Amino acid sequence: MESAIDPTTEPSTTLEIADVICMRCGCLCDDVILQIHDSKAVATKKACTKGSKWFLAAIPPVEEPICTIQGKPATLEEGLDTAAAILRTAKRPLIDGLSHTTVEAQQHAVTIAQAAKGVVVGTASAFQNRHSKGARAVGAVSATWGELRNRADIVIVWNSDPLSTHPRHFERYSLEPAGRFVPNGRADRTLIALGDEKNSTSSIADYVVTFSKNRDFEVATVLNALLKQIPLDADQVLRTTGITLDTLVELIATMKRAKYGVILHDPSAHRLSDIEHVTRAILELVTQLNNVTCFCYSPLGEGENSAGAEQVVAWKTAHTGTVDFTAENPQSSPYEETTEEILRERSVDAALLINTDPLADLEPKVWQWLGYVPTISISPSTTATSESATVAFRSSEFGRSVSGTIFRSDGVALPLRPVESSSYPSDEEILAKLSAKLTKREG
């Protein structure tokens, strides 16, 4: 089958493209089949409902200039010169949107942040940032989803609903497929739904354990204590967690019987204030379980290339999350987790926004600071942010018309191929040229 759209193909030809990556959730399913007609996706196979909607939501075919400066058409080179001038004169520019582009483009974005002495947002959301902090504090026993497919016989879903948020995870990786050590697939696995409310996942679980609202940390702490054989008061456990001590003892016994167990956890399912310490408690539990059996932890991450953004920022700066380059060496910025917080504090004097639209996504009292500073927008379509930007570049659509590398939530790198043609440059091309202008000046 064809691996990409050939621009010379007759307009009336309908093509089937196999092994297309869907970026609607952290699963990044890479087995989707697209039917393409007149260079646009018209049908999908294997994709879930969320994925199908994402693929078929085509950008309107509107002819727009490759670049605008103050709303007026300009050449790409003119736009790059103006953008470079903005970043050179800024004292602390914001670079945001890394999770919406390829690894190759992300590397150029970090280089730009360093050259311009700006601040780069390396996570998709505050949820991911808090989760990463918790994981860094205690360490994580993790595994690829291919390992889960071949080995996991006990699957614990911790206060999450992958059946709704990551619809094909059970189908492809953790519950249904036959694996080397679980040849009968679902029949060889036990699914435990552990959470503070019932959901779609709990309706298909073998065992459902329901605790009091927002008591994840307490439950994980009690389970840790049971593993360490610390005596506990049954009444206090019930008051604190909403679960009887006997139920938790039985749950621990089930975990210990696992040949290979996994805890699936969606950080975005919690209150923001709870994520960091809940993550730490769950990871400590997994570490303790590995003293008696084999267990791992697997986060159900966000879609697009959020995992890639975190990895690229980490390997280029030795930090994760929001990284500030205004000092001599890059520094983690713990009090500015998101673009929203940075704009609310009005701590930047310019912005480079990659495939992100804060004017549509944030409240006016937050994004209004962008009206007082020069902004550079890179976007495949017209948005509120691109229309108001000082310099706006039109790019090929990420996930449809560009090639590159992206990372799945379990840390596996996947090759991205174009499935639709585009006459516009990719984010990588634009950022590479902008980076070259800034670094050339430095040299």
Contacts of 345 (CB under 8 A, 6+ apart): 336
State whether 401 and 363 are in the same domain. yes
- Tell me whether residue 4 is in a domain: no
Q: What is the CATH number of the domain that holds 192?
A: 3.40.228.10
Report helix angle 76-89 to 427-442, nearest 10: 50
Task: For residues 156 and 103, state if they share a domain.
Answer: no
Predicted local distance difference test score (pLDDT) of residue 376: 98
The Cα–Cα gap between 108 and 110 comes to: 5
C-alpha 11/C-alpha 37 separation (Å) is: 7
- For residues 163 and 267, membership in a common domain is answered with yes
Q: Please state, in angstroms and rounded to a whole number, the distance separating the CA atoms of residues 179 and 184.
A: 8
324 and 358 part of one domain? yes
Terminal Cα-to-Cα distance of the chain (whole angstroms): 46
Instruction: Indicate whether 432 and 412 sit together in one domain.
Output: yes
Position 5 in a domain: no
Are residues 291 and 153 located together in one domain of the fold?
Answer: yes
The answer for residues whose C-beta is within 8 angstroms of residue 220's C-beta and 6 or more apart is 278, 281, 282, 284, 285
Domain-embedded: residue 62 = no
Between CA 235 and CA 215 the distance in angstroms is 16
- Say what the pLDDT of residue 62 is: 67
3-state secondary structure the chain: CECCCCCCCCCCCEEEEEEECCCCCCCCCCCEEEEEECCEEEEEECCCHHHHHHHHCCCCCCCCCCEEECCEEECHHHHHHHHHHHHHHCCCEEEECHHHCCHHHHHHHHHHHHHCCCEEECCCCHHHHHHHHHHHHHCCCCCCHHHHHHHCCEEEEECCCHHHHCCCHHHHHHCCCCCCCCCCHHHHCEEEEEECCCCCCHHHCCEEEECCCCCHHHHHHHHHHHHCCCCCCHHHHHHHHCCCHHHHHHHHHHHHCCCCEEEEECHHHCCHHHHHHHHHHHHHHHHHHCCCCCEEEEECCCCCCHHHHHHHHHHHHCCCCEEECCCCCCEECCCCCCHHHHHHHCCCCEEEEECCCHHHHCCHHHHHHHHCCCEEEEECCCCHHHHHCCEEEECCCCCCCCCEEEECCCCCEEEECCCCCCCCCCHHHHHHHHHHHHHHHHC
Q: Is residue 30 part of a domain?
A: yes
With a CB cutoff of 8 Å and minimum separation 6, the contacts of 26 are 166, 299, 300, 301, 302, 303, 306, 307, 408, 409
pTM, two decimal places: 0.91
Output Rg (C-alpha) for the chain, integer angstroms: 24
Whether residues 231 and 353 fall in one domain: no
Taking the CA atoms of residue 230, residue 233, residue 234 and residue 238 in that order, the dihedral angle to the nearest 10 degrees is -100
Among 299, 329, 364, the domain boundary falls at 299
- The domain of 203 spans 128-299
Please state, in angstroms and rounded to a whole number, the distance separating the CA atoms of residues 188 and 259.
Answer: 11
Neighbours of 136 (CB within 10 A): 15
- Pick the last residue of a domain from 299, 332, 357: 299
The answer to the question of residue 380 being in a domain is yes
Let me know if residue 45 belongs to a domain: yes
Q: Are residues 246 and 341 in the same domain?
A: no
Boundary (domain end) residue, out of 261, 283, 299:
299
The enclosing domain of 359 has a CATH number of 3.40.50.740
Same domain, 178 and 292: yes
Tell me how far apart the alpha carbons of residues 126 and 128 are, in angstroms, rounded to a whole number: 5
Whether 207 is covered by a domain: the verdict is yes
Same domain, 287 and 225: yes
| Domains identified in the chain, total number | 3
Query: Same domain, yes or no, for 437 and 346?
Result: yes
pLDDT at 300: 93
Asked if 147 and 273 sit in the same domain, the reply is: yes
In a domain? residue 387: yes
Q: Which residues of the chain have pLDDT under 70?
A: 1-12, 39, 58-62, 441-443
